[in-house]
Structure 1
Amino acid sequence: MWNRVEHYVDEIRANRWYAYFAVFCRISLAIAFGISGWVKISGERFAAGLPSNHPLGHYFDALLDTGFYYTFIGMGQVMVAILLLIPRSALLGAIAGFPIMLNIFVLTYSVRFEGTRTVTFMLLANLFLLVWDFQRIKHILPFQQTQRELQANSDKPRAHPFPYVFFTLVVLTLATVIGVNQIMYDIRPGNSAEECMNGCRDGPTPQASKQFCDCIYTKGKVLGKCLEEFEKAKAIELGANGRNQLRP
């Protein structure tokens, strides 16, 4: 299995289109890490437009209050951005950035943040960069190519056909992430009270949804408590709607 993985990585590294995609992933991640890190170094609250009563707003407010720890995180993110921009250190940047991206990925999904799609794309880009440099990473794993295999791979002619299948899979993956994020939660707090309320109009339980938004943005309760109240209100509203439909 590992030999097949090595063979596949060797094939894609011989194709300039994959190389262009790797550069795109590096630059995109570097920009994201750089902007996020610089905001923290500047001592500003990240996502300043996000209300404090938002579940993620609570987190950003608390993180800002940690003082030099907040600055330390920003310096780490800027360092990752610099490493990603330098070709020789890009692998180190991808390795250092992966746990950061994984942490952000879990965080955004746990609070039902609207930016989960973008964070998922970034995590996938980070994973691609790790696969891209698999030949270098493999030396810390208990699987290595033999010298004969390395010589055989180095003697292969370099070809540059456009990888239609790969980029089709990329598009399908992005579409799948967007689609799954659209249906995986029955309710989200949105990024503002207005956005949350707008999402209540077309739902099957508009009153319960409005109570949820009020619980988040007016009462400032934690997400878990608001979800508990929403589930109870939803059950009551659905029961009432069912009884109304049965009436002659």
Structure 2
Amino acid sequence: MTFEKLRTNTRNQWIIIHLRYLVGFAFFPSGLTKLLGNRFTVLSIDTPIGYFFEAMYQTGFYWNFLGLSQIVAGILLMTQRFALLGALLFLAILTNIWIITISLSFTGTWVITSLMMMAVIVLLIWDHHKLMPLLSYNQPMTVKSYPDPGRIWINAGIIYTVCLLGLSWPGPVDEGLERWTVRGLAVIVLLTFILTQYKTYKSRRLLLKNQS
């Protein structure tokens, strides 16, 4: 009963929706860097961290595959509709990254990856009822249905995906058209955020008015 109250609370739904956006975006910069075949760090190979990343970079296609997997996981989370699949893929990738940052003693990075692990676990707990049939063996069970994110959040996820991928594109931004493109994408992200919050606020006020 407690989980049902948490799951149907509109404020909690809002938090989960935006947590998916945030976690999904976290993989875009590093994923694009790998997918385009660029080095992830400029550290010397004389250091354990630099040597490790240089070895992974030299694998070629595997380096690109890692980047593609990160981007796919991020996009799935952004869609909201396929967020559970994205969270599972994200967990598989992030677990490896998390262990690497701890074992190689990344300065401060392990804190960030640990927070990301906590966020992904929260997302999986949120949708754990959808995983229960997979964990049960030869037992009939009914999966509880909860409200899914509305169309506005799905559309916003598409806009965020396109704009944030553009903003995450590696490399310097030159003067002229490129810089204005970056500014335009940033404005679209901001306007999308403001518009979704405004519509959510209006819908909530209307709902409260009808209930009173």
**TM-score (ref. length: structure 1):** 0.53
Aligned to 2:33: 39
Deviation at 1:90, TM superposition (A): 0.4
Deviation at 1:146, TM superposition (A): 5.8
Q: How does 1:1-248 map to 2 (within 5 A)?
A: 7-48=1-42, 50-114=43-107, 115-142=109-136
CA RMSD of aligned residues (A): 2.3
Counterparts of 1:140 and 1:14, CA distance in 2: 23
Larger Rg: 1
Partner letter of residue 72 of structure 1?
F
Pair 1:55–1:9, CA change in 2 (3 A)? farther
Counterparts of 1:145 and 1:13, CA distance in 2: 23
Deviation at 1:145, TM superposition (A): 8.9
SS at match of 2:105: coil
> Deviations for 1:204-224, whole angstroms, at most 9, x for unmatched residues?
xxxxxxxxxxxxxxxxxxxxx
Aligned to 1:196: none
Deviation at 1:112, TM superposition (A): 0.8
Partner letter of residue 14 of structure 1?
T
Q: Give the number of equivalent residue pairs.
A: 144
CA contact (8 A) 1:25 1:125 kept: yes
**TM-score (ref. length: structure 2):** 0.62
Task: Structure 2 unaligned segments of length 5 or more: list them.
Answer: 147-212
Counterparts of 2:80 and 2:29, CA distance in 1: 20
The sequence identity of aligned pairs, in percent, is 32
